[in-house]
């Protein structure tokens, strides 16, 4: 019974976690999702602390609480709190945007923390009871937990498109109730202290389950008010747009990759970088929003003339340099204004690469042009075609700072090299982005282009780069041939009232003429940077610049990240000493959440130390460190692969699903096989694990690049196969530790707490490690964690069986 409960609760709680992430991504921004769910997961750890406190009050609690009756009660409580917390949360007006401004939002946030912690608490209670009660079967408990979680990672996939987020959460919460009505007579001597559930109690459980299911069914079928539909924050783009008259959503498609709302409105007008010289009316458009934000615009091209507006946009400066292009490649990541540009150029062949299947489908059908639904880097790795123009369109997030944690490979130096390698000998690369002040993105992209040209051994790389801007956007143009004659570009800029920022031979008199800043900041900074590269002092430039503008690599692919921690004070002052403006930054949020998590972790770990009176019963430091290290190591490994595989699959959700499923399944098998390993085997397991992790650090990259060139099926297959060995090995230390390093149920519960705390802290800190130091460092951290575990497992202070 308890193993079945462990399996189902693990399945349900992971599905709940995945779905809650979706809910918060739609209703709020990812910042809040990160905040709330990270803290809620402490519910697992809190269960272990709770059992430690019980241990001070009751004897044989593990036998009593792990019997059928109490376990069923915990399952029911899990289901009720999971559904209840979601329904309540869906109604309280917690809004990330107002968090720093309205004191009542703190109360809502604390309520969210508490409510969401409850279901994870009850799930954690059953799992830690299983470890406490049947330590000799720790491997099987581990397998049940991991296998259940693996199933939970996949289950939302088929249900989400049909049920939506709210109903999927409710269904996931109901799953563990399956076993409650049934009672298997137990002959287990361990439960000698407890009797089988009486017929009356069994009936009560069955009725309770039926009641919960019926009530839930009633809730979700009611038309108004109680329907668990997730609505975006009123401050999200979609919500604000829907307030326009005659604006309506005509289609909503939801899945694990996002919720896509297609909106018709007579007020859709998207034309970033449009010249003030354009006098006409824009073509009709409609828009698709992803999770209430990140719009993609579709232009209704009725007449040839409709494309003409594109010729008045800033990115068209690049098209103008290639008269009569034959082949154009468009890599779209939001926006949509690149397509009319490409069509206005008159090119015979236009290929669009779009990662999101829904948008790829719409673009293909609407424009009747070839659309490749693939990760752009994989497309480039698999293609040997050459293009006259490659145009990258990406406008970033609507909330400044929200992109800081977003991993993306469109703008790394390696990506620049790929683009350049796929251009014809007269080819042009165009990148269109929002203009930032202080200059940040423009500097980074210029540097990325320069370093890529240099690595490909272009002479005088700066002669191949041009940058233009208007008042809110800029366009970077990179040419295979050096820019010798800039007349065309200068005329275009002058005629359209755009400003040059950088062209070979540019002078101060040529800049800041039409879109006037107090000073030509972008020109100054890029000129300084160009000089720094010429003199070989570019590192010093990046070091002294107030923001992090160094070009991104595939190891550190965070194009939206500009914060420098050692300049935080200056940044705070510059934004008017406004705390809330800092709160928009994803990195600041990570830091705040980490501090919150640290306080909670210390609290949960210290309680047993202070409540347990007898010294020999207190958990010792070696035990604590071992299980902290094992928990951290597991999470570091998991997050490393999730981040690494985003490179292959291009989508964090796909990566998460593949990695989670793979690691959980194979580590579950590892846990199962741990039953065959004796006490002396733990050391060798840890040594082997550390060796494998170091090998991954040194050797995974070439394998990943090779996988990128293969077909999708092979990508999925090989990516999964690569997980087998490390996952199998990481599945061993925890159950082995439970079996051989501990001899008291309370200690096992405490180990569960330590493991849970480490998992949460690690998942938060990994985000910062990736941004600051690079993704490969995460696997080194995993190796270091298991080294600590190895050292702790050798100490004699941990009780031996």
Partner 1 sequence: MKKILLPFFILTFLPAQLMAQPLVDSPKYQKARGKMVSLQIRLRGVSDKKVLNAMSQVPRHRFVPKELLSQAYADHPLPIGQGQTISQPYIVALMTEKLKLIGNERILEIGTGSGYQAAILAKVAKEVYTIEIKEKLYKKAESLLRSLGFSKIKTRHGDGYFGWPEAAPFDCIMITASIDHIPPPLLKQLKDGGRLILPLGNPFSYQHLSLVTKYDDEYTVKQITGVLFVPMTGHALDQNPRVTNDIP
**In angstroms, what is the minimal distance from the CB of 681 to partner 1?**
55
Under rule CB under 8 A, residue 565 binds partner 1: no
Name the nearest CA neighbour of 78 among 163, 6, 27, 154. 6
Provide, rounded to whole angstroms, the least separation between the CB of residue 318 and partner 1: 19
CB 789 within 8 A of CB 629: yes
Tell me which stretch binds partner 1 (CB under 8 A): 322-330, 577-585, 750-758, 780-788: 577-585
Q: How far is CA 617 from the centre of its chain?
A: 41
The interface with partner 1 within residues 112-131 (CB under 8 A) comprises none
Q: How far is CA 619 from the centre of its chain?
A: 35
Q: Does 267 bind partner 1 (CB under 8 A)?
A: yes
Is the Cβ of residue 208 or residue 512 nearer to partner 1 in the bound state?
512
Q: Containing H/E element for 475?
A: strand 473-479
d(CA 659, CA 711): 18
Can you tell me the distance from the alpha carbon of 794 to that of 292, in angstroms, rounded to the nearest whole number? 53
Is residue 37 within 8 A of residue 24, CB to CB? The reply is yes
| Residue 106 binds partner 1 (CB under 8 A) | no
CB 341 within 8 A of CB 391: yes
CB of 546 to partner 1, least distance (A): 4
Is 406 a residue that touches partner 1 (CB under 8 A)? no
**CA distance readout (Å), 698 to 389, 540, 646:** 36, 29, 19
570 scored as a contact of partner 1 (CB under 8 A): yes
576 contacts partner 1 (rule: CB under 8 A): yes
Token output for 322: 């290639």
Give me the least distance between CB of 285 and partner 1, in Å please: 12
x-or-dash string of contact with partner 1, 582-621, rule CB under 8 A: --x-------------------------------------
Kindly state whether residue 400 participates in binding partner 1, applying the rule CB under 8 A: yes
Considering only residues 308, 524, 695, 716, which one is a binding residue for partner 1 as defined by CB under 8 A? Answer: 524
**515 is a contact residue toward partner 1 (CB under 8 A):** yes
User: Is 94 one of the binding residues for partner 1 (CB under 8 A)?
Assistant: no
Q: Which is nearer to partner 1, 234 or 255 (CB)?
A: 234
Residue 432 sits in the site that holds partner 1 (CB under 8 A): no
CB of 274: closest distance to partner 1 in angstroms?
4
Report the DSSP beta bridge partners of residue 311.
none
Say how far apart CA 281 and CA 302 lie, in whole Å: 13
Q: How far is the CB of 32 from partner 1 (least distance, A)?
A: 14
Give whichever of 18 and 501 is closer to partner 1, judged by the CB atom: 501
DSSP string for 521-574: HHHHHHHHHHHHHHHT-HHHHHHHSSS--PPPBTTB--TT----GGGHHHHHHH
Backbone angles phi, psi at 576, to 5 degrees: 80, 25
How far apart, in whole angstroms, are the C-alpha atoms of residue 798 and residue 495? 78
- Regarding 495 and contact with partner 1 (CB under 8 A), the answer is no
Show the tokens assigned to 450.
Answer: 């320069």
- Helices 138-154 and 733-740 pack at an angle, to 10 degrees, of 150
Q: Give the residue, chosen from 178, 276, 621, 714, that forms a contact with partner 1 under the rule CB under 8 A.
A: 276
Rounded distance between C-alpha atoms, residue 322 and residue 388, angstroms: 7
| 536 is an interface residue for partner 1 by CB under 8 A | no
Sign for the pseudo-dihedral over CA of 345, 346, 351, 353: positive
User: Minimum distance from CB of 656 to partner 1 (Å)?
Assistant: 29
278 binds partner 1 (CB under 8 A): yes
Q: Which of 23, 271, 465, 468 binds partner 1 (CB under 8 A)?
A: 271
Is residue 280 involved in binding partner 1 (CB under 8 A)? yes
By the rule CB under 8 A, 546 interacts with partner 1? yes
The Cα–Cα gap between 177 and 213 comes to 9
Segment interacting with partner 1 (CB under 8 A) among 518-526, 553-561, 614-622, 687-695: 518-526
Supply angle C-alpha 123, 203, 199, rounded to 5.
105
Q: What is the DSSP letter of 393?
A: E
Query: Segment 207-266, which members bind partner 1 (CB under 8 A)?
Result: 234-236, 239-240, 243-245, 266
573 contributes a contact to partner 1 by CB under 8 A: yes
Q: Is 108 in the site for partner 1 (CB under 8 A)?
A: no
Q: Is residue 165 within 8 Å of 22, Cβ to Cβ?
A: yes
Q: Which residues contact 434 (CB under 8 A, 6 or more apart)?
A: 272, 395, 396, 441, 472, 473, 474
Q: Is 575 in the site for partner 1 (CB under 8 A)?
A: yes
Residue 438 interacts with partner 1 (CB under 8 A): yes or no: yes
Question: How many residues in total does the chain contain?
Answer: 801
Please choose, from the candidates 473, 441, 445, the residue with its C-alpha nearest in 3D space to the C-alpha of residue 341: 473
Q: How far is the CB of 581 from partner 1 (least distance, A)?
A: 5
Total residues at the site for partner 1 (CB under 8 A)?
A: 64
> Is 439 a residue that touches partner 1 (CB under 8 A)?
yes
Our CB check for partner 1 shows the closer of 547 and 682 to be 547
Q: Which residues bind partner 1 (CB under 8 A)?
A: 97-98, 100-102, 234-236, 239-240, 243-245, 266-267, 269-274, 276-281, 398-401, 437-439, 470-473, 497, 513-519, 521, 524-525, 545-547, 567, 570-571, 573-578, 580-581, 584
């Amino acid at each position: 019974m308890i193993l079945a409960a462990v399996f189902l609760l693990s399945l349900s709680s992971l599905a709940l976690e995945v779905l809650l992430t979706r809910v918060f991504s739609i209703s709020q921004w990812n910042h809040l999702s990160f905040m709330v769910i990270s803290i809620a997961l402490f519910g697992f750890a809190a269960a272990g602390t709770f059992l430690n406190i019980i241990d001070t009050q009751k004897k044989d609690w593990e036998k009593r609480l792990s019997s059928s009756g109490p376990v069923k009660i915990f399952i029911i409580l899990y289901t009720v709190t999971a559904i209840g917390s979601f329904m309540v949360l869906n109604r309280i007006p917690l809004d990330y945007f107002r968090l720093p401004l309205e004191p009542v939002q703190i109360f809502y946030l604390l309520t969210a923390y508490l409510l969401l912690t409850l279901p994870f608490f009850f799930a954690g209670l059953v799992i830690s009871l299983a470890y406490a009660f049947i330590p000799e079967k720790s491997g099987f408990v581990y397998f049940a937990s991991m296998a259940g979680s693996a199933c939970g990672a996949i289950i939302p996939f088929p249900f989400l498109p049909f049920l939506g987020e709210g109903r999927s959460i409710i269904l996931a919460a109901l799953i563990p109730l399956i076993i409650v009505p049934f009672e298997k007579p137990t002959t287990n001597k361990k439960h000698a202290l407890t009797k089988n559930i009486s017929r009356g109690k069994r009936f009560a459980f069955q009725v309770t389950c039926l009641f919960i299911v019926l009530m839930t069914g009633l809730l979700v079928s009611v038309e108004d008010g109680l329907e668990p539909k997730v609505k975006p924050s009123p401050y999200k783009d979609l919500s604000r747009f829907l307030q326009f008259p005659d604006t309506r959503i005509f289609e909503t498609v939801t899945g694990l990759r996002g919720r896509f709302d297609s909106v018709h409105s007579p007020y859709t007008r998207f034309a970033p970088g449009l010249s003030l010289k354009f006098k006409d009316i824009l073509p009709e458009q409609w828009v698709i929003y992803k999770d209430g934000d990140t719009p993609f615009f579709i232009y209704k091209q009725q007449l040839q003339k409709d494309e003409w507006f594109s010729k008045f946009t800033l990115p068209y400066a690049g098209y103008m340099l290639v008269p009569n292009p034959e082949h154009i490649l468009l890599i779209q990541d939001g926006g949509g204004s690149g397509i009319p540009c490409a069509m206005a150029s008159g090119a015979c062949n236009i290929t669009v690469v779009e990662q999101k299947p829904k948008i790829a489908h719409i673009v293909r059908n609407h424009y009747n042009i070839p659309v490749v639904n693939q990760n752009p880097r994989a497309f480039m790795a698999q293609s040997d075609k050459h293009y006259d123009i490659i145009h990258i369109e990406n406008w970033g997030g609507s909330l400044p700072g929200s992109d800081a944690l977003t991993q993306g490979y469109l703008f790394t130096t390696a990506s620049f090299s790929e683009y350049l390698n796929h251009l014809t000998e007269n080819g042009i690369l165009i990148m269109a982005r929002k203009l930032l002040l202080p200059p940040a993105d423009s500097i980074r992209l210029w540097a990325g282009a320069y370093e890529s040209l240099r690595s490909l051994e272009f002479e005088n790389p700066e002669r191949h780069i041009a940058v233009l801007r208007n008042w809110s956007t800029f366009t970077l143009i990179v040419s295979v041939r050096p820019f010798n004659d800039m007349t065309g570009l200068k005329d275009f800029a002058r005629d359209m009232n755009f400003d040059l920022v950088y062209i070979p031979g540019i002078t101060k008199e040529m800049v800041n003429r039409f879109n006037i800043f107090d000073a030509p900041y972008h020109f100054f900074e890029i000129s300084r940077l160009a000089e720094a590269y010429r003199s070989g002092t570019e590192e010093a430039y990046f070091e002294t610049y107030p923001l992090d503008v160094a070009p991104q690599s595939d190891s550190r692919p965070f194009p939206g990240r500009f914060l420098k921690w050692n300049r935080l004070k200056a940044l705070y002052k510059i934004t008017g000493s406004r705390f809330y403006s800092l709160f928009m930054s994803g990195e600041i949020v990570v830091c705040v959440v980490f501090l919150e998590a640290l306080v909670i972790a210390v609290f949960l770990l210290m309680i047993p130390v202070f409540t347990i009176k007898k010294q020999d019963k207190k958990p010792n430091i070696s035990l604590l460190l071992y299980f902290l290290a094992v928990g951290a190591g597991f999470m570091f490994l998991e997050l490393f692969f999730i981040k690494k595989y985003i490179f292959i699959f291009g989508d964090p959700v796909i990566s998460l699903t593949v990695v989670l499923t793979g690691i959980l399944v194979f580590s579950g098998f590892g846990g199962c096989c741990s039953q065959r390993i004796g006490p002396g085997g733990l050391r060798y397991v840890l040594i082997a694990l550390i060796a494998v992790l170091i090998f991954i650090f040194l050797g995974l990259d070439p394998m990943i690049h090779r996988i990128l060139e293969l077909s999708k099926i092979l990508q999925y297959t090989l990516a999964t196969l690569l997980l087998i060995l490390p996952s199998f090995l990481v599945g061993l230390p925890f159950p082995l530790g439970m079996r051989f390093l501990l001899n008291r149920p309370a200690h096992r519960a405490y180990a569960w707490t330590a493991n849970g705390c480490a998992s949460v802290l690690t998942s938060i800190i990994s985000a910062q490690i990736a941004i600051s130091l690079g993704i490969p460092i995460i696997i080194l951290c995993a190796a270091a964690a298991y080294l600590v575990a190895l050292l702790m497992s050798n100490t004699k202070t941990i009780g031996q069986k």
